[in-house]
Amino acid sequence: MTANAEAAHSRQPVCPEGFSIFSSERTFEFYRDLHEQYRSPVWDEAANGWILFDYDEVARGQRDESLFANAYLNADDTLRQIKGGGANITLSQGDEHTRLRRFHLKLLSPSNVEQYRVAHMLPIIEETLDALGDAKRIEAASAIADRIPPRVISSLLGMDYRDDAAMDRLLELNHEIVALISTGYRSEEGRKRALAASAELNEILLPHIRKARETPSNDFISRVWQEAPAADLELDEEAALGLCRELFFAGSDTTVYGIANVLFTMLSQPGVHAAVRADRDKALKAVIEEGMRLRSVVMFRHRICVQDVTIGDAHIRKGDIVFIGNAAANRDPEHYRCPAEVDLERRPPTDHFAFGRGNRSCIGSHFARTEMRELLDMMLDRYPDMRLDPDAEPPVFTGTFMRRMCPLHLILRD
């Protein structure tokens, strides 16, 4: 290989020593330094992949699968089992993905989400807050955020959401899978644990999937069985299981984390809290968007480079792993004015990567936004003077692949 060719294949530029996209400390300071000192992308030695971190490159990276393919493009059988297999939308490619995405968007359309809001979200939010009774102080991550999304999704799937032990177990099993994803799927021990968790999730969900096929009702799984033929989808039991597995995963864990992050964003600044209390429409919607932008739940996405490409000063090779840095792009100073601050007037408010972009963007974003809005609205009604507890353990932005503010100690009332 010539000297020029060798240089073209070097891993440059490189992250500052001691920093990685997998780091859990000083995350946003790291991203700020990247924006100030480097052009996107940079090579991350610890993660063995490239980080895209500026707004335009992250947008391109998420939209252009002809360059950066879905991480599950070459998924082995074990990884497919861990993700649920079947009609799991994250595993799908090409025309199959297009059909599945269209089907999911129909099932989670605004009109259908309105039905789910009334029948599932509002009763569970109300029951969860009722259970707090006259409590003056709570740890909101466990008492509220951990409880509501898994129960809403379970209710949608026709399960007994009032079975607290079962709901806690479902969340634990999903956490095992998140733990594997956070390693870039490289941990052998993590694979074993995630595979066992996946098998247990299947055992829990399969009876409900079979029941909905044999005796349909008005739950989500029944609609999946009934509406799949018109969407040109041939569903068998395994395919239906994969579809429901991803719904439960995306609709529970990510919203669990999102609730904590948005609550912290609203309550950490008295002026923001006051603005949202005074305006339950525009300001309430805006604080959800700013909370998701400032503290992205999904910090990054994995992609596989499918052809040699030069971006900025980086020469990315076919087969290289590329980390699409959602959280970094959401604080790009070239795109956002005062990116580290809450701005309830930011326009457009949804101009961020918390739910992704392109044909891999979150199909349940409207569902998640609705759930968070209804929860905050009800909490503001019940606890207008709620605030962070200054005498309790302070919250920390914790996690790797998915992150949230935790613990989240609140004073609900004096």
The model's pLDDT over 246-270, given as tens digits with 9 standing for 90+, comes to: 988 888 889 999 999 999 999 999 9
Q: Which of 181-190, 201-210, 211-220, 390-399 has the lowest mean pLDDT?
A: 181-190
User: Confidence class of residue 40 from pLDDT cuts 50, 70 and 90?
Assistant: confident
Mean pLDDT value across residues 229-256: 90
Burial 211-237 (b: 16+ CB within 10 A, else e): ebbeeeeebbbbbbeeebeeeebebee
Q: Which two tokens stand for residue 273?
A: 């809290």
pLDDT exceeds 70 at position 339: yes
The domain ranges of the chain are: 3-411
Q: Which of 131-145, 165-179, 257-271, 284-298 has the lowest mean pLDDT?
A: 165-179
Closest CA to 201 of 175, 162, 236, 231: 175
CB contact at 8 A, 105 and 365: no
Q: Which of 150-159, 176-185, 214-223, 250-259 has the lowest mean pLDDT?
A: 176-185
More confident residue, 309 or 24: 309
Distance in angstroms (rounded) separating the CA atoms of residues 282 and 70: 35
pLDDT at 181: 86
User: Confidence class of residue 2 from pLDDT cuts 50, 70 and 90?
Assistant: very low
Mean pLDDT value across residues 268-281: 97
Residue percentage of the chain with pLDDT more than 70: 98
pLDDT at 3: 37
User: Confidence class of residue 39 from pLDDT cuts 50, 70 and 90?
Assistant: confident
Q: Which CATH architecture has domain 3-411?
A: Orthogonal Bundle (1.10)
Mean pLDDT value across residues 147-168: 94
pLDDT at 248: 87
Q: Which two tokens stand for residue 56?
A: 């335009």
